[in-house]
Structure 1
Amino acid sequence: MNFLKLIRYQNLLLLAFMQLIFRYGFLKLQNIPLALDHFQFGLLVLSTVLIAAAGYVINDILDQETDYDNRADTLIVGRSISEKTAYNLYFVLNIAGVGLGFYLANIIQRPSFTGAFIIVSATLYMYATSLKQMLLVGNIIVALLLSFSVLIIGLFDLLPATYDGNRAEMGIMFSMLIDYAIFAFIINLIREIVKDMEDVEGDYNQGMSTLPIALGINKTAKAVFGLGMVATILLLWYINTYLMENALYFAVIYGLIFVVSPMIFFLVKIWKAQKKEEFHLLSTVLKWIIFFGILSVLVINLNIQYNAKG
């Protein structure tokens, strides 16, 4: 169980779920060719999960002092798992993840795509060692990496199956992946800042430079409120432009209840949030918003099919 906690198994399950939903709840429901078979796509998901797990491990290894200040009761490296064992685990996870990426890149006859896995792995290491100590840079990096886990589906499943005859149709599919990648980036960026607000005491003691330390909790809360407001307006615009105008009313109701409503709850609460427990709750709310936002791609497709039958 300590191993599962170390690799943040809940976050990894969310990551795998996200990729599976986009493949089987979106792309497979379209009348388009895909480059990977079921087994190969499973390896793509596994590769992504392994590299992300390695990122969590190295982050915990190098973050022991900060974690001791912020959440001593959940400390794993140095207590339940030795630092040496954690390092060995980090190397095994990385080698396995990049190795699978190398195999898949050659399967689709794009060996240069191996570089995507190497870059992600290296970026996660750089994040753990230095980038997360830089104001906002670490937050942006983590948010970008989650977005890339959406886009990599397009790189490995759509791009190799694209030819002149289906280029326009595949472009539409890729643009939808980009839309969801942008959504994942914005919400996860907000969540990373909220997590910094939750951990402000330990980060300050370790001399880190985060937005709450630079601006203070109150000003950061207002800045996060502003970002959240922008995200909410974009969500409402997207729902009105792409769902309402296409009579996808089930998807509209779903989006308003499960994505927009929690965002409004978040906005109300973040404005005056002060306590660690409040920030933890809001971080969890944002995670659920990401989950239901991802699931919306399946709801939209089912709504389209329902309308077609009607």
Structure 2
Amino acid sequence: MKYLNLIRYPNLLLIALMQLVVYYGFLNFQNIPLVLQPWQYFLLILATVCITAGGYIINDIFDQEADAINKPEKKIVGTSITESQAYNLYVGFTLTGVGIGFYLSRLIEHPNFVIVFILCSASLYLYATSWKGILLVKNIIVSLLLAFSILIIGLFVLFPAITPYNKPQLLTAFSVLFDFSIIAFVINFLRELVKDLEDVKGDYNQGIQTLPIVLGINRTAKIVCGLTFIPIGMLLYYTYVNLFELLYATLYILLAIIGPLLYFSIKMAWASQKKEFKHLSQVLRLVIFLGILAIGVIGLNMYYYATQQV
């Protein structure tokens, strides 16, 4: 169990679920050519999960001092797992992810695409070793990597299949993935800020510059509250422009995503304690999970709407 906790298995399951929902709940219903077969797509998921797991491990290695303050009961590296073992696991997961990425890149006849996996691995290493000390950079990097775990599907499953005849269909499908990657970036960026609020004491002792340390907890909480209306506005606009005819998808987004975001913004406006920030971080994790399912809801609703029009 200690090894599963080290690689943050709930987060890895969330990423795997997201990529499965995109493939089986959205792309499979679009009547478009998909380059990767299901077993090959599972390799893409495995590569993504391995690289992400490596990122969590290297982060824990360099976060031992802060973790001893912020969450001593959850500290793994240096307690139940030695630093040497953690380094070995980091190298193993990272090389496995990059190796699978190299195989898939050659499989789709775009060997240069392996640079995607190398850059992601390098970014996670730099994040853990140096970037996290730069104000807001760590929040942006982590959120970008989550967004890219959606875009990479289009890169490996849709892009190699584009021809002059199917280009409009494939670009439409890719645009949906792109839109959701932007929304995922914004929501996860908010969650990273909330985690900074939760971990302010340990970050301060480790010399990490975060928004709560620079501006203070109360002011940062108010900023996060205000920023919450950005994804709410984006979702309302996107739903009105693209999904208004899809009743079930529209209702789902309003109730399952926008509703919790409004709850989050109200609670954040008055939050000041660590336990409150921990709760609000879990609310945003739920929103991300429900947002993942929204891709499948949209795919199913589009499919049934199309069949009714025939």
Normalising by the smaller structure, the TM-score range is over 0.9
Q: What code does the residue aligned with 2:67 have? A: D
Please state how far the C-alpha of 1:305 moved relative to its aligned partner.
Answer: 2.8
Q: What code does the residue aligned with 1:25 have? A: G
Matched residue, 1:272: 270
- Could you report, residue by residue, the CA deviation over 1:127-162 in whole angstroms, capped at 9, with x for unpaired residues? 000111110000000000000000000110001111
Matched residue, 1:193: 193
- Could you report, residue by residue, the CA deviation over 1:189-210 in whole angstroms, capped at 9, with x for unpaired residues? 0000000000001101111100
- Could you report, residue by residue, the CA deviation over 1:205-247 in whole angstroms, capped at 9, with x for unpaired residues? 1111000000001111111112101111111111222222xx2
- Could you report, residue by residue, the CA deviation over 1:263-282 in whole angstroms, capped at 9, with x for unpaired residues? 00000000010011110111
Runs of at least 4 residues of structure 1 off by over 3 A? Answer: none
Q: What code does the residue aligned with 2:291 have? A: G
Matched residue, 1:305: 303
Q: How does 1:88-237 map to 2 (within 5 A)?
A: 88-237=88-237
- Could you report, residue by residue, the CA deviation over 1:25-69 in whole angstroms, capped at 9, with x for unpaired residues? 111111111110111100000000000000000000110000001
1:234–1:173: structure 2 CA closer, same or farther, 3 Å change rule? same
Q: What code does the residue aligned with 2:63 have? A: D
Q: TM-score, normalised by structure 2?
A: 0.98
Matched residue, 1:293: 291
Please state how far the C-alpha of 1:306 moved relative to its aligned partner.
Answer: 2.8
- Could you report, residue by residue, the CA deviation over 1:81-115 in whole angstroms, capped at 9, with x for unpaired residues? 01100000000001100000000000000000000
Q: TM-score, normalised by structure 1?
A: 0.98
Q: What code does the residue aligned with 1:163 have? A: T
**Identical pairs, percent:** 53
Please state how far the C-alpha of 1:304 moved relative to its aligned partner.
Answer: 2.4
Q: CA RMSD in A?
A: 0.8
Q: Does the aligned pair in 1 maintain the 2:148–2:181 contact within 8 Å?
A: yes
Q: Does the aligned pair in 1 maintain the 2:27–2:299 contact within 8 Å?
A: no
Question: What number of residue pairs does the alignment pair up?
Answer: 308
Matched residue, 2:247: 249
Q: Does the aligned pair in 1 maintain the 2:183–2:234 contact within 8 Å?
A: no
1:309–1:110: structure 2 CA closer, same or farther, 3 Å change rule? closer
Q: C-alpha separation between the residues in 2 aligned to 1:162 and 1:230?
A: 33
Gaps of 5+ in 1: none
Q: What code does the residue aligned with 2:283 have? A: V
Q: C-alpha separation between the residues in 1 aligned to 2:303 and 2:173?
A: 16
SS in 2 for 1:271: helix
Gaps of 5+ in 2: none
Please state how far the C-alpha of 1:309 moved relative to its aligned partner.
Answer: 4.1
